[in-house]
Amino acid sequence: MNEPKQAANHADPHVLGREICVLRYVLDRHASNKPDDTFAVFEDGDSWTFAELKSKTVAVAAGLHHLGVNQGDHVAMSLPNGRESLLTFFAINYLGAVYVPFNTAYKGKILEHVVDNSDAEVIVVHGQIVERLNEVATARLKTAVTVGECDAKTSLDLVAFADLTGTAVDLPELTTPIEPWDTQSIIYTSGTTGPSKGVLSSYLHMYTNPGPEAWPFVHGDDRFLINMPMFHIGGMGLCNAMLARGGSIAMMENFATDTFWAFVARTECTVVFLLGAMATFLLKQEASDAERQHKVRIAFLVPLTGNHREVAERFKIDIYTIFNMTEVSTPIVSDPNPEKPGTCGKARDGVDVRLVDRNDCEVALGEIGEMILRTDRPWAMNHGYYKNPEATAEAWRNGWFHTGDAFRQDADGYYYFVDRVKDAIRRRGENISSFEVEAEVIAHPDVREAAAVGVPSEFSEDDVLVAVAPIEGKTIEPKELILFLAERMPHFMVPRYLRIMDNLPKTPTEKVRKHVLRDEGVSDDAWDREAAGIKIKRERL
């Protein structure tokens, strides 16, 4: 088996050859070298080998080309996880076109914004979403390739996804080779304070993000669970990562607590990715035999919750954590089963990390500063925000990418996430991390999710307000929660106000819209512990 050289096409050793990092050439290589190895397993037990994946990908790519898609064109997609979303992603990139996924929850103005920003003329879309397109301006869109039932009347040309592969059209030759620095995808960030921004990612960026240098403990014989959506870096990025490694994936449409362990056992997953809330949901289930009858050896837990040791011990897996975002390439990675609570890990090789103040001057060790980054590999991070030069210039000022996240570093080189820079709370001279407040609130057994924000105090600066949502079937009693927190956090961090809500306000990518909570402030439904006579005082030593 002839494996490609690291830098087959380039003199710069940091720039990898096309056969290493460009989807089309990687798929061709695996389909030739190990055609019968499994790449994808689906919920119903169906599976595809590399040879089958290539055949299906080429057929869909030919169908898209028949609709007018050429190398370099932008193609939108709005589909749930499944066969069609995987094939659409692969087919778009196989043509050398740009993959532009939309969150399936988008509607109204946010859908109109991304459609306009994307410059796509073709969208592959679930049938039920087509009706939403009728309610907004569709900019350059001309054709909708539909998956599932579609009864909506629309001005767009409709083509059934199943008919793409029936097109008797040969795949064209590429006009030029697809290069590692060519744009592979435009993924939209949440836009918690403004319109969503389209992150421009090259093939080399997408390769590096969860690549072997960043995640050396994920191997070519692993099977990675894809339970994050394909419009998210945690979905499409992991599919890309396992293709690059010659490994395999198991695709789950949505994370489901009650069926999670049965699914990973049935599909023989060895690596899973868990958001902190997912791990908490799993821990709060009753223990069962199923949760240990699996082949999972590694779980990414992001962020690292205070109960990560319990996760590792109860489910018999090793825990890793990282700091990452769509725009960068896993700059911070932990050792297995981190000993230091709350850490994200240390800087990996090939990345320069600085913590700086608002003037980009480095802060002292132990002080809090915004994390800014650069890499020794060209194109290993985003190359801007599509059609948004102002945001690009702001993020990339002074030659470093500004994450917008506040961190501190200890003397041993470990980094700790403190907060989004814009989410910091200052109460009576103390800086408070909303992230740390939320971690303690979520530790309460009846709390499903929480968000902490600063609200104006009559004494200047801020008071802490926490919005909480209960676990289904549970109720949250404000006084009991406050007393629980008073035992777990410094006096100045204990919230003054509580809002108990059925669900917190979210962006379509499930990030809490904290600006909504801040704007609403101390609303009529907010419970005030001071008005209730509960005073939390500093302990005298």
**Distance, CA of 361 to chain centre:** 29
Write down the residue that tokens 């506040």 correspond to: 406
Residues 131 and 173 grouped into a single domain: yes
Dihedral sign, CA of 334, 6, 329, 110? negative
* Strands, E assignment, 34-182: 38-41, 47-49, 74-78, 98-101, 122-126, 143-147, 157-160
Q: In whole angstroms, what is the distance from residue 298 CA to residue 300 CA?
A: 7
- In a domain? residue 446: yes
Q: Is residue 203 part of a domain?
A: no
Same-domain status, 259 and 354 = yes
Together in a domain, 137 and 247: no
Q: Specify the pLDDT at position 541.
A: 33
Q: What is the pLDDT of residues 342-378, one digit of tens each?
A: 899 999 999 999 999 999 999 999 999 999 999 999 9
Residue 167's pLDDT is: 65
Predicted confidence at residue 254, as pLDDT, reads 86
- Say which range, 240-254, 430-444, 475-489, has the weakest mean pLDDT: 430-444
Average pLDDT over every residue of 88-105: 95
187 neighbors 232 (Cβ within 8 angstroms): yes
Predicted confidence at residue 116, as pLDDT, reads: 97
Whether residue 31 lies inside any domain: the answer is no
* 301 and 370 housed in the same domain: yes
On whether both 296 and 232 belong to a single domain, the answer is: yes
User: Looking at residue 76, which CATH number applies to its domain?
Assistant: 3.40.50.980
DSSP secondary structure string, 63-91?
HHHHTT--TT-EEEEE--SSHHHHHHHHH
In tens, the pLDDT along 6-18 reads 544 567 888 999 9
**In 3D, which of 88, 106, 113 has the Cα closest to residue 98?**
88
The answer to the question of residue 32 being in a domain is no
234: enclosing H helix or E strand: helix 233-245
> Which one-letter amino acid corresponds to residue 240?
N
Q: Please tell me whether residues 291 and 405 are part of one structural domain.
A: yes
Give me the chain's average pLDDT, please: 91
- 410 lies in the same domain as 461: no
CA 305 to chain centroid: 17
* pLDDT above 70: percentage of residues in the chain: 94
pLDDT range class, residue 4, cuts 50, 70, 90: low
pLDDT surpassing 50 at residue 401: yes
Q: Considering the chain, what percentage of its residues have pLDDT values greater than 90?
A: 73
Q: How far apart are the C-alpha atoms of 518 and 21, rounded to whole Å?
A: 43
Look at strands 198-202 and 183-188 and give their pairing.
antiparallel
Q: Is-contact 392 198, C-beta < 8 A?
A: no
Residue 237 to residue 300: CA distance in whole angstroms: 14
pLDDT at 190: 66
Q: For residue 1, what pLDDT band results from cuts at 50, 70 and 90?
A: very low
508-520 exposure pattern, b = at least 16 Cβ within 10 A, e = fewer: bbeebbbebbbeb
- What are the pLDDT digits (tens) for 409-465? 999 999 999 877 877 787 876 677 787 789 889 989 999 999 999 998 876 678 999
Asked whether the beta carbons of 317 and 311 are under 8 A apart, the reply is: yes
**How far is 291 from 314, CA to CA, in rounded Å?**
8
Nearest residue to 23 (alpha-carbon basis) of 85, 97, 121, 76: 97
Give the residue numbers spanning the domain of 412.
223-384+397-420
* Residue 94 φ/ψ, nearest 5 degrees: -65, -30
User: Do 261 and 341 belong to one domain?
Assistant: yes
Provide the pairing of β-strand 271-275 with 248-251: unpaired
Confidence band (pLDDT; 50, 70, 90) for 341?
Answer: confident
> Is the residue at 216 inside a domain?
no
Taking alpha carbons only, the member of 205, 17, 204 closest to residue 9 is 17
Average pLDDT over residues 274-287: 87
Give me 341's structure tokens.
């609570």
How far from chain centre, in Å, is Cα 98?
A: 19
In sequence order, the β-bridge partners of residue 407 are 369, 417
For residues 35 and 151, the model is more confident at 35
Amino acid at 108: G
The predicted pLDDT at position 460 comes to 62
* Closest residue by Cα to residue 28 from 55, 10, 59: 55
User: Is residue 6, in this structure, part of any structural domain at all?
Assistant: no
pLDDT value at position 13?
84
Q: Which residue's structure tokens are 């700086």?
A: 356
User: Quick one: angle between helices 50-66 and 23-33, nearest 10?
Assistant: 140
Residues 162-208 pLDDT 10s:
998 876 667 889 999 999 999 999 999 865 556 789 999 999 999 99
Residues recorded for the chain: 541
- Classify residue 126 by burial, with Cβ atoms within 10 Å: 0-12, 13-18, 19+: buried
Q: What is the reported pLDDT for 168?
A: 61
My answer on whether 367 and 379 are in the same domain is: yes
What is the value of pTM for the model shown? 0.83
Domain count, the chain: 3
State yes or no: pLDDT of 2 exceeds 50. Answer: no
Question: Identity (one letter) of the amino acid at 457?
Answer: S
Tell me if 460 sits within 8 A of 489, measured CB to CB.
Answer: no
Residue where a domain stops, chosen among 178, 195, 210: 178
User: What stretches of 380-477 show up as alpha helix (H) in DSSP?
Assistant: 389-395, 434-442
How many beta carbons lie within 10 A of that of residue 28, not counting itself?
16
78 located within any domain = yes
Q: Count CA within 13 A, CB hemisphere, residue 301.
A: 31
On whether residue 494 sits in a domain, the answer given is yes
Please answer whether residues 493 and 486 qualify as being in contact, where contact means their C-beta atoms are separated by less than 8 angstroms: no
Q: Is the pLDDT of residue 261 over 70?
A: yes
Range with lowest mean pLDDT among 23-32, 151-160, 237-246 = 151-160
Query: SS3 for 456?
Result: strand
CATH number at residue 483: 3.30.300.30
- Whether 360 and 486 map to the same domain: the answer is no
Q: At what angle do helices 478-486 and 434-442 cross, to 10 degrees?
A: 110
Q: Is 303 helix (H, G, I), strand (E, B) or coil?
A: coil
Q: Are residues 114 and 170 in the same domain?
A: yes
Q: Which helix (H) or strand (E) holds 520?
A: helix 514-520
Helix (H) or strand (E) holding 416: strand 415-420
Q: Is the per-residue pLDDT at 60 higher than 50?
A: yes
- pLDDT of 290: 85
Is the same domain home to 410 and 430?
no
Return the minimum-mean-pLDDT range out of 95-109, 252-266, 507-521.
507-521
Q: Give the span between the Cα atoms of 437 and 468, in whole angstroms.
A: 12
At 194 the pLDDT is 60
Evaluate whether 49 touches 77 at the Cβ level (below 8 Å): no
